[in-house]
Structure 1
Amino acid sequence: MMRFLAACLVVLSGSVGALASQVTVASWNLGWHMDLETVQHWIGECSKNYVEDPATGKFKPSQEAGFQPGWDIDAFKIEGWDVGRLPVCKVYTAGGTVRVNLEAYRKRQQQIANFIARSIPADIIAFQEVSGEQSVREVLPNGDSDYDFCPVTGYKVQRLVIAWKKTLGEKVSCAIEDTLSLPANPDDKRPRPGLALTLKIDGKLLRIMDVHLKSSCVSPFDGGNLEGTGKDCMILQQQVDPLENWIESAAADGAKIVLLGDFNRNFWHELRDQRPARTDASGTSSPRPAGVLSRSLIEEIADGQPANANLEVLDEHCQISDAGQALCTQAEIRDLTTPETQLLASDNYLGCRNPVGLDHILIGPGITSDGPAEHLSIGNLGGNKAGTPNGKDQLLAISDHCPMIARLNF
């Protein structure tokens, strides 16, 4: 009898130890999102009057006749404007640049907070394009009191922040992954770093990497050839090795890995590209020979080697009508036409200007997902309205991206 009870205890304790932990993760690019202090400074700079210097073609602050407000000028032509410190003025457009007022920005923040509370039941939210931790605190429900934070500090204004519920587990580390920012490059060719958070949940390590890779090299189907000579694709090509190196290193201590964010790359198109993944046709599971370029980011970072770092990109689903989901499925097979993209981005579908193809969630061995990753519709919250000058009827989009969410077990 005693041996029977002892055997039962062993079985029960083994079952408890084998119970899977559950965590819901989300990723959201908030589109040049700022905290209120930064917003006030930005509005002030964009509201200044500038005049062009004919000799240089640059604009300088001036009260002279013939001036233009900063809202109407390409910020790259304003002398001394640092887009690493402040966004361009043309973030919000509605038949022209929306001249943002502070009241409208406060309303936008409240709409984001309401949306998160209502539609993003996540334990961990990885944000991209935020000015810093304070900008995230200002849009989380319950005055941010339920969350802890892992932020990127320094670098440029489009930063990363990971927020997680304090009750989830113990923070082990929060690390800025500088290698993804290509520190050997000149400043104008340095993309954003990565951000890695390690948590201990139910005694197990979960490591989350938030990324926002180089933009404007999206798909081999629309001319975005990763192996090409375009400036943006050349920079993204340089990020392949640092990203793969992080994945392999991050899994070495037995941690479970989640990689998510705005990759600015359509992985589904890469997987459907019939060309070899490398320019020399070598297999991606072996080291890439010197001088050989990659055509497929996903096939490099999810190459099956080593086995404990073999990532899987989650299937994606759109939380909209059957017709909308059919369009989302088509977007994984081919490059959508402009009218199709506009339809998918409309209020009755996903509502965000960049509806699919940029954001992904990847999981490593030992993690399973309860269904596909979901693209959440933001509906009519993705549009702008200029309103009357400094009027209360001005509306600002909560983002040009839709959030993505996945329910994971590990």
Structure 2
Amino acid sequence: MLRIMVAIFAIFLISSEASARQVTIATWNLGWHMDIGTAQTWIDACSKTYQKEPTGQWVPSTAAGSPTGWEVPNTFDIHGWNTATLPVCDVYFYRGVVRVNVDAYRKRQEQIAGFISRSVPADIIAFQEVSGEQAVKEILPGGGADYDLCGFSGYKVQRLVIAWKKSLGTKVSCNVEDALSLPANPDSKRPRPGLSLTLNVGGDTLRILDVHLKSSCVSPFDGGKPDGNGNDCKILQQQIEPIEGWVERETSDGAKVVMLGDFNRNLWHELRDQSPVRTDGSAASGPRPSGALSRSLLEEVFDGQPSASNLRLIDEQCETNEVGAALCTLSEIRDLDTAESALLASQNYLGCRNPVGLDHILIGPGISATAPAEHTGIRRLGTTRQKDDGTDQVLAISDHCPLIVRLNL
């Protein structure tokens, strides 16, 4: 009898493990990250000299004393600067803008690759602010040999790429979600698109939406309400409808859904803001009346209707010491002051300039998290430094820390 009971228990354990597949997922904004070829082109362009025209534009110049692109106040004022291929010049700072050399950029890539190998044990990594798939291959363990990639070209240089281990599952589809880029807007007011990946994972359909939403409308506590008067908040307001459209469409067939990325929005503050979700006071679960605006992206999109589309924001914690962990918790309740933010971003704590409040992971029905998502510290690797003569450059690997969670599917 005892042997039979042991056998039944073993079968139960095997069955439970099979029905609750565990997958580790991460999101990481890599901060204007480029493949080495693009980086060389960028360095060459920023190292050229320019002069300012009466129109305010900067044009190439060979005149003595002309400033380089590193010194131009706004790179996008340089005539002909192609935002589809090149970042701004002032990406890295150390007592002023760092004039990056290609050897330092290669070293940065090596540091990212080493950090991923040591500290990002994820089956799926959703990247933001990368120039393309090649930029991701160059920083994945083994040059990405064990990974498949979903990405796109075009748009602007801050692109999205999702990488997953080939052993995890097979790609069903990889689609650019153009609606999130607001194609009806003029180019100057078009944010980034979304990136949608569908995988077959052991017979389950897993859909992932990677986002990098409009910046500078971070918190309702600091006046950043999507219904506000600022242009950035107006653009974020426009992204709500296409996000909700994707969620309702892609959850309608019972697929398991994860939405993650750099929301540029403190969703925890939205939950704690007591203002009505809509400016007209109508329920977020019903059709939005003409002229009504939403104050909360989270509560507008995930309103419980239909129930399958009601994604849940995963709890977050920080991989740091006791003081840092307390600051992380506090940051979900109110804005951190300047000193608190600087402490959390310092290399003895998390080390990234944007440690919390922007990156999030949400999960739909049929998925659970084994523990809170963790903001993983990059510490000293988040600091740029060089000698006074510009030599011995060390470039920060990012201004964001990766957010990692282990999920049961």
TM-score range, shorter chain: over 0.9
Further displaced range: 79-88 or 169-178: 79-88
**Residue of structure 2 in register with 1:21 after alignment:** 21
Q: How far apart in 1 are the matches of 2:100 and 2:345?
A: 23
Contact kept in structure 2, 1:369 and 1:408, CA below 8 Å: yes
The residue identity in structure 2 corresponding to 1:192 is R
Q: How far apart in 2 are the matches of 1:70 and 1:14?
A: 61
**Residue of structure 1 in register with 2:61 after alignment:** 62
Q: How far apart in 2 are the matches of 1:201 and 1:224?
A: 39
- 1:90 matched to 2:93: no
Superposed CA RMSD in Å reads 1.7
SS at match of 1:68: coil
The residue identity in structure 1 corresponding to 2:172 is V
Q: How far apart in 1 are the matches of 2:17 and 2:380?
A: 46
1:108 and 1:196, CA in 2 relative to 1: closer, same or farther beyond 3 A? same
Residue 62 of structure 1: how far off its partner (Å):
0.9
The residue identity in structure 1 corresponding to 2:307 is A
- 1:236 matched to 2:236: yes
Residue 18 of structure 1: how far off its partner (Å):
6.5
Task: Give CA-to-partner distance per residue, 1:69-102, whole Å, 9 cap, x none.
Answer: 1101121221222333211100001110000000
**Residue of structure 1 in register with 2:401 after alignment:** 402
- 1:307 matched to 2:307: yes
The residue identity in structure 1 corresponding to 2:107 is K
**Residue of structure 1 in register with 2:178 after alignment:** 178
Aligned pairs for 1:383-394 (under 5 A) are 383-387=383-387, 389=389, 391=391, 393-394=392-393
Task: Give CA-to-partner distance per residue, 1:120-164, whole Å, 9 cap, x none.
Answer: 000000000000000000000112101000002211100000000
Further displaced range: 323-332 or 382-391: 382-391
Contact kept in structure 2, 1:60 and 1:78, CA below 8 Å: yes
SS at match of 2:163: strand
Residue 65 of structure 1: how far off its partner (Å):
2.5
Aligned residues: 400
**Residue of structure 2 in register with 1:123 after alignment:** 123
Contact kept in structure 1, 2:22 and 2:406, CA below 8 Å: yes
Q: How far apart in 1 are the matches of 2:305 and 2:185?
A: 28
Q: How far apart in 2 are the matches of 1:271 and 1:254?
A: 27
SS at match of 1:192: coil
Aligned pairs for 1:182-221 (under 5 A) are 182-221=182-221
Contact kept in structure 1, 2:84 and 2:154, CA below 8 Å: no
SS at match of 1:134: helix
Q: How far apart in 2 are the matches of 1:211 and 1:274?
A: 26
Q: How far apart in 2 are the matches of 1:206 and 1:80?
A: 42
Q: How far apart in 1 are the matches of 2:390 and 2:13?
A: 64
SS at match of 2:96: coil
- 1:253 matched to 2:226: no
Residue 301 of structure 1: how far off its partner (Å):
1.6
Q: How far apart in 2 are the matches of 1:228 and 1:243?
A: 19
Residue 309 of structure 1: how far off its partner (Å):
1.1
Contact kept in structure 2, 1:51 and 1:66, CA below 8 Å: no
Contact kept in structure 2, 1:387 and 1:395, CA below 8 Å: no
Q: Percent identity?
A: 64
Residue 213 of structure 1: how far off its partner (Å):
0.4
**Residue of structure 1 in register with 2:332 after alignment:** 332
The residue identity in structure 2 corresponding to 1:366 is G
1:16 and 1:370, CA in 2 relative to 1: closer, same or farther beyond 3 A? closer
**Residue of structure 1 in register with 2:376 after alignment:** 376
**Residue of structure 1 in register with 2:366 after alignment:** 366
Give me the TM-score of the superposition, normalised by structure 1.
0.95
Task: Give CA-to-partner distance per residue, 1:26-73, whole Å, 9 cap, x none.
Answer: 0000000000010000000000011122x2222111111330011011
**Residue of structure 1 in register with 2:352 after alignment:** 352
Contact kept in structure 2, 1:99 and 1:386, CA below 8 Å: no
The residue identity in structure 1 corresponding to 2:381 is L
The gaps in structure 1 that reach 5 residues or longer are none
**Residue of structure 2 in register with 1:168 after alignment:** 168
SS at match of 1:127: strand
Q: How far apart in 2 are the matches of 1:288 and 1:70?
A: 47
Contact kept in structure 2, 1:256 and 1:366, CA below 8 Å: yes
Task: Give CA-to-partner distance per residue, 1:243-287, whole Å, 9 cap, x none.
Answer: 011001011111100000000000011111111011011111112
Q: How far apart in 2 are the matches of 1:36 and 1:27?
A: 22
Contact kept in structure 2, 1:28 and 1:261, CA below 8 Å: yes
Contact kept in structure 2, 1:388 and 1:394, CA below 8 Å: no
Residue 16 of structure 1: how far off its partner (Å):
6.5
SS at match of 1:221: helix
Q: How far apart in 1 are the matches of 2:365 and 2:287?
A: 21
